[in-house]
Structure 1
Amino acid sequence: MQRVMIIGQPGSGKSTLARALGERTGLPVVHIDTIHWQPGWVERSHDEKTQLCHEVEAGERWIFEGGHSATWNNRLARADMLIWIDRSVPLRFWRVLLRTIMNHGRSRPALPHDCPERLSNLPAFFRFMWRTKTSARKKMKQVVATAPSDCRVVCLRSDRDAEAFLAGMGVQPSQAGQPQRSARGKCTPN
Protein backbone atom coordinates (compact mmCIF):
# COMPACT_ATOMS: atom_id res chain seq x y z
CA MET A 1 0.00 0.00 0.00
CA GLN A 2 1.63 3.16 -1.26
CA ARG A 3 -1.22 5.36 -2.57
CA VAL A 4 -4.53 5.58 -0.69
CA MET A 5 -7.54 7.53 -1.96
CA ILE A 6 -10.15 8.40 0.69
CA ILE A 7 -13.56 9.72 -0.33
CA GLY A 8 -16.66 10.62 1.65
CA GLN A 9 -19.04 13.48 2.14
CA PRO A 10 -18.40 16.37 4.57
CA GLY A 11 -18.34 15.24 8.18
CA SER A 12 -17.82 11.56 7.32
CA GLY A 13 -14.41 11.37 9.00
CA LYS A 14 -12.02 11.51 6.02
CA SER A 15 -9.46 13.80 7.63
CA THR A 16 -9.47 11.90 10.92
CA LEU A 17 -9.00 8.55 9.19
CA ALA A 18 -6.30 9.94 6.89
CA ARG A 19 -4.30 11.27 9.85
CA ALA A 20 -4.62 7.98 11.77
CA LEU A 21 -3.68 5.94 8.70
CA GLY A 22 -0.75 8.25 8.01
CA GLU A 23 0.53 7.74 11.56
CA ARG A 24 0.29 3.95 11.17
CA THR A 25 1.84 3.72 7.72
CA GLY A 26 4.22 6.67 7.53
CA LEU A 27 2.62 7.70 4.23
CA PRO A 28 2.32 11.46 3.68
CA VAL A 29 -1.22 12.78 4.10
CA VAL A 30 -2.76 15.38 1.80
CA HIS A 31 -6.08 17.01 2.69
CA ILE A 32 -8.07 18.41 -0.23
CA ASP A 33 -8.97 21.45 1.89
CA THR A 34 -5.31 22.53 1.77
CA ILE A 35 -5.56 22.50 -2.02
CA HIS A 36 -9.07 23.97 -2.26
CA TRP A 37 -8.40 26.87 0.13
CA GLN A 38 -5.62 29.38 0.56
CA PRO A 39 -5.12 31.29 3.84
CA GLY A 40 -8.02 33.60 4.67
CA TRP A 41 -10.65 31.31 3.08
CA VAL A 42 -9.56 32.30 -0.44
CA GLU A 43 -10.68 29.62 -2.89
CA ARG A 44 -8.22 28.57 -5.58
CA SER A 45 -9.32 28.48 -9.21
CA HIS A 46 -10.58 25.20 -10.65
CA ASP A 47 -7.50 24.91 -12.88
CA GLU A 48 -5.10 25.56 -10.01
CA LYS A 49 -6.84 22.94 -7.85
CA THR A 50 -6.65 20.45 -10.71
CA GLN A 51 -2.93 21.10 -11.25
CA LEU A 52 -2.14 20.75 -7.53
CA CYS A 53 -4.14 17.50 -7.33
CA HIS A 54 -2.28 16.09 -10.34
CA GLU A 55 1.04 16.96 -8.71
CA VAL A 56 0.07 15.00 -5.59
CA GLU A 57 -1.34 12.10 -7.61
CA ALA A 58 1.90 11.79 -9.59
CA GLY A 59 3.80 11.05 -6.38
CA GLU A 60 4.84 7.54 -5.42
CA ARG A 61 3.46 7.61 -1.86
CA TRP A 62 0.38 9.38 -0.50
CA ILE A 63 -2.85 9.29 1.40
CA PHE A 64 -5.10 11.76 -0.42
CA GLU A 65 -8.43 12.51 1.20
CA GLY A 66 -11.27 14.51 -0.20
CA GLY A 67 -12.97 15.87 -3.24
CA HIS A 68 -12.23 17.78 -6.40
CA SER A 69 -13.96 15.01 -8.30
CA ALA A 70 -12.62 16.36 -11.61
CA THR A 71 -9.39 14.52 -10.71
CA TRP A 72 -10.88 11.36 -9.19
CA ASN A 73 -10.37 9.19 -12.28
CA ASN A 74 -6.68 10.10 -12.39
CA ARG A 75 -6.32 9.59 -8.64
CA LEU A 76 -8.15 6.26 -8.78
CA ALA A 77 -5.94 5.03 -11.63
CA ARG A 78 -2.87 5.63 -9.42
CA ALA A 79 -4.32 4.42 -6.10
CA ASP A 80 -3.70 0.93 -4.80
CA MET A 81 -6.41 1.39 -2.14
CA LEU A 82 -9.72 3.25 -2.23
CA ILE A 83 -11.54 3.91 1.04
CA TRP A 84 -15.13 5.15 0.92
CA ILE A 85 -16.47 6.46 4.22
CA ASP A 86 -20.25 6.28 3.79
CA ARG A 87 -21.98 7.79 6.82
CA SER A 88 -25.55 8.91 7.52
CA VAL A 89 -26.68 12.45 6.78
CA PRO A 90 -27.72 13.30 10.37
CA LEU A 91 -24.38 12.10 11.76
CA ARG A 92 -22.43 14.12 9.22
CA PHE A 93 -24.39 17.31 10.03
CA TRP A 94 -23.80 16.72 13.73
CA ARG A 95 -20.07 16.21 13.21
CA VAL A 96 -19.71 19.37 11.12
CA LEU A 97 -21.55 21.35 13.80
CA LEU A 98 -19.40 19.85 16.55
CA ARG A 99 -16.09 20.43 14.75
CA THR A 100 -17.10 24.02 14.00
CA ILE A 101 -17.94 24.69 17.65
CA MET A 102 -14.81 22.92 18.93
CA ASN A 103 -12.51 24.75 16.51
CA HIS A 104 -14.34 28.10 16.51
CA GLY A 105 -11.92 30.92 15.81
CA ARG A 106 -9.03 28.71 14.70
CA SER A 107 -8.10 26.55 11.72
CA ARG A 108 -8.65 22.79 11.86
CA PRO A 109 -5.57 20.62 11.16
CA ALA A 110 -6.87 19.78 7.66
CA LEU A 111 -7.17 23.46 6.70
CA PRO A 112 -4.52 26.02 5.71
CA HIS A 113 -3.36 28.60 8.21
CA ASP A 114 -5.76 31.51 8.75
CA CYS A 115 -8.95 29.62 7.87
CA PRO A 116 -10.68 29.83 11.25
CA GLU A 117 -13.92 27.95 11.79
CA ARG A 118 -16.88 30.31 12.08
CA LEU A 119 -20.45 29.60 13.10
CA SER A 120 -21.57 32.16 10.53
CA ASN A 121 -20.31 29.85 7.74
CA LEU A 122 -22.51 26.94 8.85
CA PRO A 123 -25.84 27.84 7.18
CA ALA A 124 -24.30 28.02 3.70
CA PHE A 125 -22.25 24.86 4.28
CA PHE A 126 -25.29 22.98 5.61
CA ARG A 127 -27.23 24.03 2.50
CA PHE A 128 -24.39 22.68 0.33
CA MET A 129 -24.35 19.42 2.28
CA TRP A 130 -28.11 19.03 1.97
CA ARG A 131 -28.20 19.93 -1.72
CA THR A 132 -25.44 17.44 -2.62
CA LYS A 133 -26.29 14.59 -0.25
CA THR A 134 -27.76 12.35 -2.95
CA SER A 135 -25.74 13.39 -6.01
CA ALA A 136 -22.39 13.19 -4.20
CA ARG A 137 -23.18 9.74 -2.78
CA LYS A 138 -24.19 8.55 -6.25
CA LYS A 139 -20.89 9.82 -7.68
CA MET A 140 -18.90 8.06 -4.94
CA LYS A 141 -20.83 4.86 -5.51
CA GLN A 142 -19.86 5.07 -9.19
CA VAL A 143 -16.18 5.63 -8.34
CA VAL A 144 -16.24 2.51 -6.17
CA ALA A 145 -17.90 0.51 -8.95
CA THR A 146 -15.24 1.53 -11.47
CA ALA A 147 -12.18 0.90 -9.29
CA PRO A 148 -9.51 -1.12 -11.10
CA SER A 149 -9.30 -4.78 -10.10
CA ASP A 150 -5.83 -4.25 -8.58
CA CYS A 151 -7.12 -1.49 -6.28
CA ARG A 152 -8.24 -2.72 -2.89
CA VAL A 153 -11.61 -1.17 -2.03
CA VAL A 154 -12.82 -0.70 1.55
CA CYS A 155 -16.15 0.75 2.68
CA LEU A 156 -16.44 2.11 6.19
CA ARG A 157 -19.94 2.81 7.49
CA SER A 158 -19.35 3.24 11.22
CA ASP A 159 -16.74 4.17 13.79
CA ARG A 160 -16.47 0.47 14.57
CA ASP A 161 -15.66 -0.26 10.90
CA ALA A 162 -12.95 2.43 10.92
CA GLU A 163 -11.45 1.16 14.17
CA ALA A 164 -11.41 -2.43 12.87
CA PHE A 165 -9.83 -1.30 9.63
CA LEU A 166 -7.07 0.61 11.43
CA ALA A 167 -6.50 -2.26 13.86
CA GLY A 168 -6.26 -4.62 10.90
CA MET A 169 -3.48 -2.65 9.25
CA GLY A 170 -1.01 -4.99 10.94
CA VAL A 171 -2.57 -8.13 9.41
CA GLN A 172 -2.66 -9.41 5.86
CA PRO A 173 -4.65 -7.12 3.52
CA SER A 174 -7.04 -9.95 2.69
CA GLN A 175 -8.10 -10.08 6.36
CA ALA A 176 -8.43 -6.37 7.18
CA GLY A 177 -11.83 -4.79 6.80
CA GLN A 178 -13.40 -8.01 5.46
CA PRO A 179 -16.92 -7.49 6.89
CA GLN A 180 -17.40 -4.35 4.78
CA ARG A 181 -16.52 -5.94 1.44
CA SER A 182 -17.97 -8.48 -0.93
CA ALA A 183 -16.09 -11.61 -2.04
CA ARG A 184 -14.68 -9.65 -5.01
CA GLY A 185 -13.15 -7.11 -2.62
CA LYS A 186 -15.54 -4.35 -3.71
CA CYS A 187 -17.82 -2.29 -1.56
CA THR A 188 -21.39 -3.38 -1.51
CA PRO A 189 -23.10 0.00 -1.03
CA ASN A 190 -26.78 0.13 -0.19
Structure 2
Amino acid sequence: MKRIALVGSSGSGKSTLAMDIGRILDIEVWHLDAILWKPNWTLTPREEQKQIQSQLVNQESWIIDGNYQSTLDIRLEAADTIIFLDMPRTLCLYRVLKRRLMYHNRSRPDMQADCKEKIDLQFPKWIWEFPSKKRPQMHQLLMDLKMDKQIITLKSPLEVKMFLADMQRPGVK
Protein backbone atom coordinates (compact mmCIF):
# COMPACT_ATOMS: atom_id res chain seq x y z
CA MET A 1 0.00 0.00 0.00
CA LYS A 2 1.76 3.08 -1.29
CA ARG A 3 -0.99 4.90 -3.17
CA ILE A 4 -4.21 4.84 -1.22
CA ALA A 5 -7.55 6.40 -2.14
CA LEU A 6 -10.22 6.63 0.55
CA VAL A 7 -13.84 7.09 -0.51
CA GLY A 8 -17.22 6.99 1.20
CA SER A 9 -20.05 9.15 2.41
CA SER A 10 -19.44 12.36 4.30
CA GLY A 11 -19.10 11.46 7.96
CA SER A 12 -17.88 7.93 7.22
CA GLY A 13 -14.45 8.63 8.73
CA LYS A 14 -12.29 9.09 5.61
CA SER A 15 -10.12 11.90 6.96
CA THR A 16 -9.56 10.25 10.34
CA LEU A 17 -8.67 6.91 8.76
CA ALA A 18 -6.39 8.63 6.24
CA MET A 19 -4.46 10.28 9.07
CA ASP A 20 -4.22 7.01 11.01
CA ILE A 21 -2.93 5.10 7.98
CA GLY A 22 -0.55 7.95 7.16
CA ARG A 23 0.99 7.70 10.64
CA ILE A 24 1.31 3.92 10.46
CA LEU A 25 2.81 3.81 6.95
CA ASP A 26 4.60 7.16 7.13
CA ILE A 27 2.91 8.35 3.94
CA GLU A 28 1.77 11.92 3.27
CA VAL A 29 -1.98 12.49 3.52
CA TRP A 30 -3.92 14.81 1.23
CA HIS A 31 -7.45 15.85 2.21
CA LEU A 32 -9.26 16.96 -0.93
CA ASP A 33 -11.58 19.18 1.11
CA ALA A 34 -8.56 21.18 2.30
CA ILE A 35 -7.10 21.40 -1.20
CA LEU A 36 -10.15 21.99 -3.37
CA TRP A 37 -12.14 24.44 -1.25
CA LYS A 38 -10.88 28.00 -1.25
CA PRO A 39 -11.74 30.55 1.47
CA ASN A 40 -15.43 31.10 2.18
CA TRP A 41 -16.45 27.78 0.63
CA THR A 42 -15.49 28.62 -2.96
CA LEU A 43 -14.88 25.40 -4.88
CA THR A 44 -11.84 25.20 -7.14
CA PRO A 45 -12.87 25.01 -10.84
CA ARG A 46 -13.04 21.46 -12.20
CA GLU A 47 -10.09 21.80 -14.62
CA GLU A 48 -7.90 23.03 -11.79
CA GLN A 49 -9.13 20.15 -9.60
CA LYS A 50 -7.99 17.72 -12.28
CA GLN A 51 -4.57 19.35 -12.55
CA ILE A 52 -4.06 19.33 -8.79
CA GLN A 53 -5.03 15.69 -8.44
CA SER A 54 -2.97 14.62 -11.45
CA GLN A 55 0.08 16.15 -9.77
CA LEU A 56 -0.71 14.45 -6.45
CA VAL A 57 -1.13 10.97 -7.93
CA ASN A 58 2.18 11.24 -9.80
CA GLN A 59 4.04 11.12 -6.48
CA GLU A 60 5.61 7.84 -5.41
CA SER A 61 3.32 7.43 -2.41
CA TRP A 62 0.21 9.17 -1.12
CA ILE A 63 -3.04 8.86 0.74
CA ILE A 64 -5.92 10.93 -0.65
CA ASP A 65 -9.32 11.11 1.00
CA GLY A 66 -12.42 12.54 -0.61
CA ASN A 67 -15.15 11.71 -3.08
CA TYR A 68 -15.38 14.46 -5.71
CA GLN A 69 -17.12 12.22 -8.21
CA SER A 70 -16.11 14.22 -11.28
CA THR A 71 -12.40 13.55 -10.64
CA LEU A 72 -12.66 10.22 -8.86
CA ASP A 73 -11.29 8.32 -11.85
CA ILE A 74 -7.92 10.11 -11.52
CA ARG A 75 -7.40 8.75 -8.00
CA LEU A 76 -8.88 5.32 -8.55
CA GLU A 77 -6.79 4.63 -11.65
CA ALA A 78 -3.56 5.72 -9.94
CA ALA A 79 -4.21 4.00 -6.60
CA ASP A 80 -2.85 0.58 -5.71
CA THR A 81 -5.28 0.41 -2.77
CA ILE A 82 -8.82 1.76 -2.54
CA ILE A 83 -10.60 1.83 0.79
CA PHE A 84 -14.36 2.29 0.64
CA LEU A 85 -15.87 3.29 3.96
CA ASP A 86 -19.40 1.95 3.58
CA MET A 87 -20.75 3.06 6.94
CA PRO A 88 -24.41 3.19 8.02
CA ARG A 89 -26.02 6.49 7.09
CA THR A 90 -27.24 7.08 10.64
CA LEU A 91 -23.64 6.92 11.87
CA CYS A 92 -22.50 9.29 9.10
CA LEU A 93 -25.26 11.78 9.96
CA TYR A 94 -24.42 11.57 13.66
CA ARG A 95 -20.73 12.20 12.97
CA VAL A 96 -21.45 15.18 10.71
CA LEU A 97 -23.75 16.75 13.33
CA LYS A 98 -21.16 16.06 16.06
CA ARG A 99 -18.44 17.59 13.86
CA ARG A 100 -20.62 20.66 13.31
CA LEU A 101 -20.94 21.13 17.06
CA MET A 102 -17.25 20.46 17.74
CA TYR A 103 -16.04 22.94 15.15
CA HIS A 104 -18.76 25.56 15.53
CA ASN A 105 -17.61 28.84 13.97
CA ARG A 106 -14.16 27.48 13.03
CA SER A 107 -12.52 25.26 10.42
CA ARG A 108 -11.77 21.56 10.87
CA PRO A 109 -8.15 20.37 10.72
CA ASP A 110 -8.83 18.61 7.40
CA MET A 111 -10.43 21.68 5.81
CA GLN A 112 -9.27 24.96 4.31
CA ALA A 113 -8.55 27.52 7.06
CA ASP A 114 -11.25 30.01 6.00
CA CYS A 115 -14.05 27.45 5.63
CA LYS A 116 -15.92 27.45 8.92
CA GLU A 117 -17.85 24.28 9.64
CA LYS A 118 -21.43 24.49 8.43
CA ILE A 119 -24.34 22.33 7.36
CA ASP A 120 -26.84 23.40 4.75
CA LEU A 121 -30.14 21.59 4.16
CA GLN A 122 -28.80 19.64 1.16
CA PHE A 123 -25.88 18.09 3.06
CA PRO A 124 -27.85 15.76 5.41
CA LYS A 125 -30.06 14.84 2.44
CA TRP A 126 -26.95 13.87 0.40
CA ILE A 127 -25.70 11.71 3.29
CA TRP A 128 -29.10 10.08 3.78
CA GLU A 129 -29.40 9.28 0.07
CA PHE A 130 -25.80 8.05 -0.30
CA PRO A 131 -26.70 4.35 0.19
CA SER A 132 -29.35 4.41 -2.53
CA LYS A 133 -27.86 6.92 -4.97
CA LYS A 134 -24.05 6.84 -4.60
CA ARG A 135 -23.21 3.42 -3.14
CA PRO A 136 -24.36 1.48 -6.25
CA GLN A 137 -22.22 3.74 -8.48
CA MET A 138 -19.24 3.28 -6.16
CA HIS A 139 -19.65 -0.51 -6.15
CA GLN A 140 -19.79 -0.53 -9.95
CA LEU A 141 -16.70 1.66 -10.27
CA LEU A 142 -14.78 -0.61 -7.93
CA MET A 143 -15.91 -3.75 -9.76
CA ASP A 144 -14.80 -2.26 -13.09
CA LEU A 145 -11.26 -1.54 -11.91
CA LYS A 146 -8.31 -3.66 -12.92
CA MET A 147 -7.55 -6.75 -10.91
CA ASP A 148 -4.16 -5.37 -9.78
CA LYS A 149 -5.77 -3.11 -7.19
CA GLN A 150 -6.43 -3.98 -3.59
CA ILE A 151 -10.00 -2.97 -2.77
CA ILE A 152 -11.01 -2.90 0.88
CA THR A 153 -14.56 -2.21 2.07
CA LEU A 154 -15.03 -1.40 5.73
CA LYS A 155 -18.62 -1.33 7.00
CA SER A 156 -18.36 -0.46 10.69
CA PRO A 157 -16.15 1.33 13.18
CA LEU A 158 -15.16 -2.10 14.53
CA GLU A 159 -13.96 -3.19 11.08
CA VAL A 160 -11.91 0.03 10.84
CA LYS A 161 -10.39 -0.61 14.26
CA MET A 162 -9.51 -4.21 13.31
CA PHE A 163 -8.05 -3.06 9.98
CA LEU A 164 -5.79 -0.55 11.74
CA ALA A 165 -4.76 -3.13 14.34
CA ASP A 166 -3.82 -5.56 11.53
CA MET A 167 -1.77 -2.86 9.82
CA GLN A 168 0.30 -2.38 12.96
CA ARG A 169 1.23 -6.06 13.27
CA PRO A 170 4.79 -6.82 12.15
CA GLY A 171 5.05 -7.94 8.55
CA VAL A 172 1.57 -6.79 7.50
CA LYS A 173 2.47 -3.46 5.89
**Fold shared by both chains (TM-score > 0.5):** yes
Provide the rounded CA distance (Å) in 2 between the counterparts of 1:148 and 1:30. Answer: 24
The answer as to whether partners of 1:147 and 1:153 remain within 8 angstroms in 2 is no
Provide the rounded CA distance (Å) in 1 between the counterparts of 2:126 and 2:85. Answer: 18
**After the TM superposition, which of the residue ranges 27-36 and 66-75 deviates more from structure 2?**
66-75
Q: Does 1:136 align with 2:134?
A: yes
Provide the rounded CA distance (Å) in 2 between the counterparts of 1:20 and 1:166. Answer: 8
SS at match of 1:129: helix
Q: Which residue identity does 1:36 align to in structure 2?
A: L
The answer as to whether partners of 2:24 and 2:168 remain within 8 angstroms in 1 is no
Q: Does 1:170 align with 2:168?
A: yes
Corresponding residue pairs, total = 172
Q: CA RMSD in A?
A: 1.7
Provide the rounded CA distance (Å) in 1 between the counterparts of 2:26 and 2:62. Answer: 9
What TM-score comes out, normalization by structure 2 length? 0.91
Name 1:23's counterpart in structure 2. Answer: 23
Q: Does 1:97 align with 2:82?
A: no
The answer as to whether partners of 1:41 and 1:115 remain within 8 angstroms in 2 is yes
Provide the rounded CA distance (Å) in 1 between the counterparts of 2:97 and 2:12. Answer: 12
Name 2:158's counterpart in structure 1. Answer: 160
Name 2:6's counterpart in structure 1. Answer: 6
- C-alpha deviations, 1:84-105, integer Å up to 9, x for none? 1001111111111010011111
SS at match of 2:151: strand
Q: Does 1:43 align with 2:43?
A: yes
Structure showing greater relative contact order (alpha-carbon pairs closer than 8 Å, 6 or more residues apart)? 2
Cα shift at 1:133: 4.2
Name 2:65's counterpart in structure 1. Answer: 65
Unpaired runs of 5+ residues, structure 1, are: 177-190
Q: Which residue identity does 1:88 align to in structure 2?
A: P
Cα shift at 1:168: 0.8
The answer as to whether partners of 1:7 and 1:66 remain within 8 angstroms in 2 is yes
The answer as to whether partners of 1:107 and 1:116 remain within 8 angstroms in 2 is yes
Unpaired runs of 5+ residues, structure 2, are: none
Cα shift at 1:132: 4.5
Provide the rounded CA distance (Å) in 2 between the counterparts of 1:153 and 1:161. Answer: 14
Q: Which residue identity does 1:106 align to in structure 2?
A: R
Q: Which residue identity does 2:167 align to in structure 1?
A: M
